[in-house]
Each structure stands twice: as C-alpha cells, then as structure tokens.
Amino acid sequence: MVKLAWLRRLSVDLIFFATGFGTVLLGVLAPLQFVGRVGDAATAQLFFSQFLGSIAGNFLLWGRPSRSLQWGLAVCTLGALMLVFHTATLGCLFLFGVGLGMSMTSANLVAAQETTAAERASRLEFINFAWAAGAMICPWATIWASNLLRPAMMYGFLAGFLLLLGVAFSWAGAPVISAEEQVASQPVFDPLTLALCCLLGLLAVGVESSVGNWIPTLAFRESSAHNSISLTSSLFWVGIVTGRLFASKTTRSIAPRTLGVLNSLLALASVLLIIRVHGLALLSAGGFLTAFWISSIYPLAIARAVPLKGRRWLFIVAGLGSSFMPWLTGVYSQRWGSLRLALALPAAGCLLLAGLFVMSRAKPRVSVGGD
C-alpha cells in the first residue's frame, strides 16, 4: 500500500506537466536565441540532439518503472541545470533529452500499472492532458520571463521543479500490484501489428514535432513580434489537447481505422494551409488544425500496442520520428531557402499515415488513452 497515494498520484500528474513544458521549451527558445544567429540547419541539430537523447532514454529503463522514473528525473534535472549555462550545447541537450525520455516512458508505465484495468484509460487520458497543459503554458511563461531575465533561466526553474517532484514521488512510497493484475497484463506476440504501430508512431510524432517546433519560427519571421511565438505555439498545443479529447469520444462511434484515415487527410490539408497562407491569424489557425487532427494518431497507436510484447519499441521508434522530421525540415529549409517549402515533409508524412490506415487490418474499437 502507498504511504501517501494522493501524493504519488499528484506527483505523476505534475511530472507529466513538467515533461510537457520541458519538451517544447527548446522550440520556444529557438527563435529568441538561436535561429537568427546560427541558421535553420544548426538549430535543427539542437532539436535533433534533444530528441535523440529521448530515444536513448528508452533504452536505459531497467527494473521497476518507479525506479526508472526516479533515475530519469535525476538525469533530467542535471541536464536542465547544465542548459542554464550552456543552452546551445548539443551534449547538454542530449543529456536533458535522455532524462525526458526515461521520465515520460516510465511515468506512462507507472500510471498504467498503478490503476485498475477499468480506470486505466481515463487515467492515461488525464495525464495526457497534464502533459499538454505544460506544453501550452511553456510559451507564455517563457516569453513573459524573457522580459525579466535571461530566457535560458527557464531551465533552472524547471530543474528545481523536477527535483521537488522527484523527492515527493520517492517519499510517497510504492503500491502493491495484485497477482491477478500481473497475470492480466501479460503481453501477446504479434510482430506485424507491432510494426504497424511503430510506423504510425514514427510518422505521427514526427509530424507533431516538426510542425510544433517550426511554426513559432515561421510566425516570428512573418510578424517579427515575440507574441507571435507564444500565440502559435500555445494554439498548437491547445489543438493537441482538444483533438485528443475529441478523439476519445469519437472512437466510441467511429472505428479507429476510419478515424485514422480521416484525421490523417485532414491533417494533410491543414499542413498545406500553413504552406500556402500568409498572416499570423491564418498561420495560427493552420497550426491549431494540424495539431487537432494529427493528435489522435499516436494515442491510437499506443492503444493498439499496449497488449503487445515489445511495446517499448513504439516509444523508441516514435522518438526517432520526433528527432528526424524536425531535423530534416530544418535541413531542407536551409537547402531550399524556404521553411514553408520544407513543411512539405510533414505533409508527406500525413499522406503516408492515411495510406497505412487504409492498408491496416481492421481491429476492435478502442478508446484513445494517451501518450
């Protein structure tokens, strides 16, 4: 039994909030500190380093998820402290990414294992909102703080918050999992379905990360106003939250395969809108719509992969997507001389997602849980 069950539960919720904040922080800082000074290709290497670290973090999980979470928070805190003084250093961003990867994956497993089967979907849904809430608040908090202090100091505040959460989570104690729950959670072997889930995760998270990280820079170039950064970034994450809430309801009446095809095509149309239009209002609308429609794909992949043996590979491959697509977008933006044109890469990702859903085998309907 947990000594302080409410504290452990609250700690996990706030850990998701903090990792959401930390995941998008680099995207907010990029137009403020890096892009104009080092160029799109070099900035893309910063994104790539952090997300590559998050992939590596998935390989460093061992033992109980709660123990891996404690180590992940420690690494993340250390990386954040180092970034206060070395914000544009690839090694520090990689270390920070390792901590994020360990913390997010372990916290997902902790939340799933420490609830009953009947409550698991709603629990994962809630922590998904907590993660996105951190992502939404990050741009506004960072822009506001940049008027008072050096923007990189946000990593210092994040490090202090993570340290407190790690202490609270450890102090709360661990629950006892019943033998019945342990037997019910045994995974099954289905490599073809797992491969499909991994491809869906690769493309969906890649599109999410690419558009979410680069649209603030595109908006800043359009208007040259710092508020454009917070507006477009926050609206993007509002789209993620509302899209997943919408998907969690519609999967009860629409088959996941059908929902995946429709949402992938609508996300494609939204990315094309960003490429074609000018003006902050239309760019913000395009970012919101892209996030709204693409947001359901990754949770659909997770819901399908949860009963499978080797499901950890979904998180690893999705991390590859979140690394490579923002990096490739920056590289081709530099090569083609147009960030808008480079967004054709996530647009192609949406088209491939629709094709994968069309070719996939039909499965029983499931509710969207969360990532």
35-74: pLDDT as tens digits: 556 566 777 788 888 888 988 888 887 778 888 999 999 9
Q: Point out the domain boundary residue: 166, 186, 206.
A: 186
Q: How far is CA 366 from the centre of its chain?
A: 21
The answer to whether residues 153 and 287 belong to one domain is no
Q: Are residues 197 and 331 in the same domain?
A: yes
Identify the helix (H) or strand (E) that includes residue 73. helix 65-85
**Whether 207 and 81 share a structural domain:** no
258 plus 273 within the same structural domain = yes
Shared domain check, 162 and 239: no
Q: Does residue 210 sit in the same domain as residue 130?
A: no
Which residue is listed with tokens 């951190």?
Answer: 134
Residues 201 and 151 in one domain: no
Same domain, yes or no: 155 and 198 = no
Structure tokens at 271: 């990315």
Same domain, yes or no: 260 and 339 = yes
279's torsion region: left (phi>0), alpha (psi -120 to 50) or beta? Answer: left
Select from 319, 23, 47 the least CA-distant residue to 154.
23
pLDDT value of position 353: 96
Residue 151 shares a structural domain with residue 219: no
Query: Tokens 């920070």 sit at which residue?
Result: 96
* Residue 26 in tokens: 């680099």
Q: Which amino acid does the sequence have at 19?
A: T
pLDDT of 271 reads 96
CB-CB contact of 92 with 156 (8 Å):
no
Contact at 8 Å (CB) between 174 and 114?
no
Condensed to tens digits (0 to 9), the pLDDT of residues 253-267 reads 788 889 899 999 999
Both tokens assigned to 101: 């990867």
Are 98 and 196 in the same domain? no
CB atoms within 10 A of CB 266: 16
Alpha helices, DSSP H, located in the chain: 5-29, 35-38, 40-59, 65-85, 90-113, 117-146, 153-172, 179-184, 191-223, 226-250, 256-276, 280-294, 297-305, 312-336, 339-342, 344-359
The 3 state secondary structure assigned to 149-195 is CCCCHHHHHHHHHHHHHHHHHHHHCCCCCCHHHHHHCCCECCHHHHH
DSSP conformation class of 360: S
Q: What total of structural domains would you count in the chain?
A: 2
pTM of this structure? 0.72
Name residues whose C-beta falls within 8 Å of residue 167's C-beta, 6 or more positions apart in sequence: none
Q: Is 172 in the same domain as 235?
A: no
Which residue bears the tokens 């094709």?
355
Distance between CA atoms of residues 358 and 355, nearest Å: 5
Size (the chain), residues = 371
What is the domain-level CATH number for residue 72? Answer: 1.20.1250.20
The pLDDT tens digits along the chain (371 residues) read 445 777 888 999 999 999 999 988 888 887 776 655 656 677 778 888 888 898 888 888 777 888 899 999 999 999 999 998 887 788 999 999 999 999 998 888 788 777 765 566 557 667 777 888 888 888 888 888 888 888 788 999 999 999 999 999 988 876 655 544 554 455 677 888 899 999 999 999 999 989 988 888 888 887 766 667 778 877 898 898 888 778 777 766 788 889 899 999 999 999 999 999 888 889 999 999 999 999 888 878 877 777 778 877 888 898 788 778 988 998 999 889 889 999 999 999 999 999 999 988 655 444 443 33
**For 218-231, how does the pLDDT look when each residue is reduced to its tens digit (9 = 90+)?**
888 877 666 677 78
Q: Which of 131, 158, 186 is the last residue of a domain?
A: 186
pLDDT at position 76: 96
For residue 331, the enclosing domain spans: 187-371
Choose the final residue of a domain: 186, 212, 235. Answer: 186
Q: Which of 189, 186, 182, 303 is CA-nearest to residue 247?
A: 303
